[in-house]
Amino acid sequence: MPRTLPDLTHKALRRIRPLAFETNASFVERLARAHHLTTTEFLNGLRIYRPKISPAREHDYGPHTPTELYLNVGARACISQYTGIPETHLAHALPCWKEHRDRGSASETRPGGAIRPSDLPAVIGCPHCTVARTGQARPILRYLPHHRLVCTRHRTWALGPHTLHGVPVPHAHALLHQTPEIVLAHNAHLRLTRRWGPDADDAIAQAARLTEHWRRHAPKTEQIWPARARLIGNGEDASMWEALAREAITYPETITLARLLIRQPSTRYHRTQPDQPHPLHEVVARLLNRRWLQNPVHYPQDLSHYIRYAPRHPIDGTAYRHHTKPIGHKADTIELTQLGYQPPRPRVKRHGTRGR
Ligand SMILES: [Zn+2]
């Protein structure tokens, strides 16, 4: 029997508002929890039928696959009415609010929905901001776009989901208190995004692929990236943090390089012979203050595929910043050993050796 729910008159319930970029599943779960109900019980209470779990894709579910609750038009109307939050507000805050493949209007549709793996990558938002906004420490999954991964106020970087030998790595954030250059780079990132919109995303994605290539193949003389990993990890297993927070570690160089790519179309890298010097190598080495980057051997052979940027026009970025979604199609978990991380072997205590 479906339960009926009380009106949202209670002060605590009224405080439940969607956070920007929150997943639908998280928002509905928070509403349910405020009633001390499970999500299914809460939906039943609103006469929303049990969401279907997409059978064709059930094999996609793993211990680390985030699933999303896609509500149909009828169910969305129910929740909007119940919470008193206009649908436009919900759609503005929740990137996947209207992602259900609706057939028919609200009046023709039986309220329901579907549960399936999320198409967008989600991360856990800044824990301090979450507490300030919700009054609870429970982590909240959000589809933060790349330029929102850093919280400058609390100096955190939201990491994606990682596993080590298939087991989730218990770190959702990198702390940036000792690496102010990453926070500064974030401000430059926001300026680029404001000015260039999707073109900035494009240039940054290309620059990030290059800096990640360099980080993984850097010569022993490269000191800055390993040092940043040590600072971020606060002395704890620097090589793990170098893999885990790799995007943060190369972020200042990524943003510097992206600015070069976006502002100077003449730096576009046209096809050259592999391993042959190119004027761009000199420019990049100087810009990133790394002499080893003068050497063509450190550049991927298909560099013309990495750099294919042609700037269009600056944009009015206000609308873009508020509406943009993260880039990427699948919320994949990344296995640290596939990033080249080999955990140190546990130390075995030697017992009394003969002759001692
Ligand atoms: Zn914060």
Distance 148 CA to ligand 1 centre (A): 10
- Structure confidence at residue 98 as a pLDDT band (50, 70, 90): very high
Residue 74: band (very low, low, confident or very high) from pLDDT cuts 50, 70, 90: very high
Torsion sign across C-alpha atoms 23, 25, 26, 31: positive
Report how far ligand 1's centroid is from the alpha carbon of 233 (Å): 19
Q: How far apart are the C-alpha atoms of 64 and 81, rounded to whole Å?
A: 33
Phi and psi at residue 214, in whole multiples of 5°? -70, -40
How much is the pLDDT for 2?
47
- Using CA atoms, how far apart are residues 234 and 158, in angstroms rounded to an integer? 17
**303 Cα–ligand 1 center, Å:** 37
- 313 Cα: distance to centroid of ligand 1 (angstroms): 32
Q: pLDDT class for 316, splitting at 50, 70, 90?
A: low
| pLDDT tens, position by position, 41-63 | 999 999 998 888 876 555 555 55
pLDDT for the residue 314 = 61
72: nearest Cα among 44, 90, 96, 98: 98
Residue 266 to residue 189: CA distance in whole angstroms:
21
Distance (Å) from CA 295 to ligand 1 centroid = 40
Cα–Cα distances in angstroms (integers) from residue 341 to residues 242, 331, 346, in the given order: 9, 21, 15
Non-local CB neighbours of 75 within 8 Å, separated by 6+ positions: 43, 46, 48, 111, 112, 113
Residue 215 clears pLDDT 70, i.e. is over it: yes
User: Rounded distance, CA 325 to CA 20, Å?
Assistant: 11
Helix (H/G/I), strand (E/B), else coil: 79: helix
CA of 136 to the centre of ligand 1 (A): 14
Kindly state the helix (H) or strand (E) to which residue 116 belongs, with its residue range. Answer: strand 113-117
**189 Cα: distance to centroid of ligand 1 (angstroms):** 17
Measure 177 CA to ligand 1 centroid, in angstroms.
12
Mean pLDDT of 71-82: 93
DSSP state string for 213-240:
HHHHT--TT--HHHHHHHHHTTTS-HHH
Tokens for 324? 């943009």
Distance from the alpha carbon of residue 176 to the mean position of ligand 1, in angstroms:
12
